[in-house]
């Protein structure tokens, strides 16, 4: 592969969402910062985040309550020290955002809060009704563009991490002008590449969410954690032939109901919090109701709410649904779950350092332990803000990562990859990258989805291992995205097969209960060893 001459900066940030831009602002104090985004500068999951950002800023709220709600939603797998950092540092980071020009919605002269599922208080801040992420990104980008030491480079697709002497020292990337890779070196690299929703056929995520950062880190030898935990948002607009547009949980927080095709309100049968139960509970309930009624969707019912309030509170949702001839104030809205958020990702310590020296990760690409087995609603933007800032502070200090678990220290290894033997499967080359993506996404949705079982997981692992792709020549963004999607799909399926219990977003019908015989354990995997638990 032909490579252009190396360039050099002090720090590289991969990704232009909340975690990446917040980190870049902090890093600007220490030298030249290069921010690479694979698409337009504003094209990220942050831009589309509707519901809001959670923080204990209300008069009736406390950080200890936010801590408790997060731990409870995480179903035993949250790292309490990481959650404590989140809830304690979050309010200060939000005040900093306001100083940089962030405009939250107000009730009179006070901040306006709403409530979402599994929160014990109304603590979710929002902006422009249902465009919170877009407003946060506007404020952060304005600040970043005011700092001359930050270079924002759109349409620059990161291909691989540069690793020398077991240390990450830069990246190779493609720009929009050609197919010749470029190489840039730096003293530290931050992965802030966002999520992996497009590993699934049905997703609320933008098309850029292909799991690129996870796949790059995996190929470089970094340790990954909890890959089996993928959150499915229960309410995505279901219109055939249209993208799965997210319908914010705040709609239910304002009083919306879920009804099956018989028009029965069903959530009280599944959880005492009804429509405001944790997302994993609501998604499974919706799936079971679809199975019972043999339908492709259920309904979100907002017709009992004040129509003018709904239009004002959710202007983007109202307008988008009107484009599909659905008036959410008068019509029942067809919805079904879709892949939404990855709790798993690149394992980090409390300062966002990974198992590879000088590689850091923040935001959805990382596993800090904040979300555990099931993310509490509206904690994701807060995590990106808090841990983006912490990552930058650690990078400026040339932080050395802590010791991470290894299989040698953990004799309780999971079973080898299902569907394989000592002889690798015969490769089934797929020269059409689009067909490979389509098959992998369908396999994940059908066999590694909301309700899982060992038989389907084995089938998915086996088939995913059989798919072999040629080396991209010449290299292209789409070819690398396909390779990344396939790699991440394999990791999710293997990890899901290895966890023989149900916990949070990972539900197995053949192991429907949590394993109470042992303390809750995190899963780990790297390219050097199979899934193990600690």
Catalytic residue among 84, 123, 138, 279: 279
**Cα–Cα distance between 440 and 445 in angstroms, integer?**
9
Task: Assign 80 to helix, strand or coil.
Answer: helix
**Cα–Cα distance between 185 and 188 in angstroms, integer?**
9
**Pure H helices in 195-276:** 212-220, 250-253
The DSSP-derived string for 480-497 is HHHHHHHHHHHHHHHHHH
Residues 44-76, buried b or exposed e (16+ Cβ, 10 A)?
bbbbbbbbbbbbbbbeebebebbbebbbbbbbb
Residues 3/122, Cβ–Cβ less than 8 Å: no
Interaxial angle between packed helices 477-498 and 433-447, expressed in degrees from 0 to 180 and rounded to the nearest 10: 20
Question: How far apart are the two ends of the chain, measured CA to CA in Å?
Answer: 40
Q: DSSP E strands: which ranges in 330-394? A: 333-342, 345-347, 359-361, 366-367
CA dist 300 → 212, 233, 248, 275, 358 (Å): 33, 13, 11, 10, 46
Residues 126/52, Cβ–Cβ less than 8 Å: yes
Instruction: List the strands of the sheet with 150-153, edge to edge.
Output: 150-153, 33-36, 11-14, 188-191, 359-361
Residues 418/458, Cβ–Cβ less than 8 Å: yes
Asked whether the bond before 205 is cis by omega within 30 degrees of 0, the reply is no
Q: Is 293 exposed, middle or buried (0-12, 13-18, 19+ CB in 10 A)?
A: middle
Residues 333/320, Cβ–Cβ less than 8 Å: no
Residue 356 phi, psi (nearest 5): -100, 130
Q: Which two three-digit tokens encode residue 360? A: 């850091």
Q: What is the 3-state secondary structure (H, E, C) of 18-36?
A: HHHHHHHHHHCCCCCEEEE
Phi-psi region of 398 (alpha: psi -120 to 50; beta: other; left: phi over 0): left
Identify the bridge partners of residue 232 per DSSP, sorted by sequence position. 339
**Sign of torsion, CA 243 248 249 254?**
negative
- For this structure, is 279 an active site residue? yes
**Sign of torsion, CA 183 480 527 46?**
positive
User: Nearest 5 degrees, angle CA 259-CA 265-CA 270?
Assistant: 110
Q: What is the largest CA-CA distance in the chain?
A: 68
Which residues are known to be catalytic?
A: 279
């Amino acid at each position: 592969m032909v490579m252009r001459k190396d360039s050099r900066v002090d720090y590289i940030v991969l990704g232009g969402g909340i975690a990446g831009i917040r980190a870049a602002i902090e890093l600007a104090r220490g030298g030249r910062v290069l921010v690479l985004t694979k698409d337009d500068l504003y094209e990220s999951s942050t831009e589309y985040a509707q519901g809001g950002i959670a923080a204990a800023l209300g008069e009736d709220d406390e950080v200890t309550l936010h801590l408790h709600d997060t731990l409870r939603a995480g179903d035993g797998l949250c790292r309490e020290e990481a959650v404590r950092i989140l809830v304690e540092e979050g309010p200060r980071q939000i005040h900093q955002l306001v100083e940089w020009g962030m405009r939250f919605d107000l009730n009179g002269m006070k901040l306006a809060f709403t409530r979402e599922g599994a929160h014990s208080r109304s603590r979710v801040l929002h902006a422009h009704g249902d465009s919170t992420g877009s407003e946060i990104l506007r404020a952060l980008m304005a600040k970043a563009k005011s700092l001359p030491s930050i270079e924002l480079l759109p349409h620059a697709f990161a291909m691989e991490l540069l690793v020398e002497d077991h240390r990450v020292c830069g990246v190779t990337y493609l720009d929009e002008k050609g197919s010749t890779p470029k190489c840039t070196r730096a003293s530290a690299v931050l992965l802030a590449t966002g999520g992996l929703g497009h590993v699934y056929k049905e997703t609320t995520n933008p098309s850029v969410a292909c799991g690129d950062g996870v796949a790059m880190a995996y190929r470089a030898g970094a340790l990954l954690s909890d890959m089996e935990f993928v959150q499915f948002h229960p309410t995505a607009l279901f219109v055939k032939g249209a993208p799965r547009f997210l319908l914010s949980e705040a709609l239910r927080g304002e009083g919306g109901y879920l009804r099956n095709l018989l028009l029965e309100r069903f959530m009280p049968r599944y959880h005492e919090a009804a429509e405001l139960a944790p997302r994993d509970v609501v998604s499974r309930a919706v799936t079971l109701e679809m199975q019972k009624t043999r339908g492709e969707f259920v309904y979100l019912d907002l017709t009992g709410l004040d129509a003018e309030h709904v239009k004002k509170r959710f202007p983007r949702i109202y307008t988008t649904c009107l484009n599909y001839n659905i008036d959410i104030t008068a019509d029942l809205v067809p919805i079904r779950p879709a892949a939404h958020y990855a709790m798993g990702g690149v394992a980090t310590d409390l300062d966002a350092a990974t198992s590879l020296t000088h590689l850091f990760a923040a935001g959805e690409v990382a596993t800090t332990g904040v979300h555990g087995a099931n993310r509490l609603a509206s904690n994701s933007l807060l995590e990106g803000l808090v841990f983006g800032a912490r990552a930058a502070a650690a990078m400026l200090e040339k932080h050395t990562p802590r010791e991470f678990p290894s299989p040698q220290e953990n004799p309780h290894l999971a079973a080898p990859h299902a569907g394989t033997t000592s002889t690798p499967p015969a490769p089934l080359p797929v020269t059409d990258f689009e067909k490979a993506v389509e098959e992998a996404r369908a396999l994940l949705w059908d066999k590694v989805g909301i309700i899982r079982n060992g038989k389907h997981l084995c089938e998915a692992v086996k088939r995913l291992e059989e798919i072999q792709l040629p080396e991209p020549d010449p290299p292209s963004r789409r070819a690398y995205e396909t390779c990344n999607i396939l790699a991440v799909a394999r990791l999710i399926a293997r990890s899901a097969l290895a966890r023989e219990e149900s916990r949070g977003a990972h539900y197995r019908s053949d192991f429907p209960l949590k394993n109470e015989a042992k303390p809750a354990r995190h899963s780990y995997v790297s390219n050097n060893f199979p899934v193990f638990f600690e």
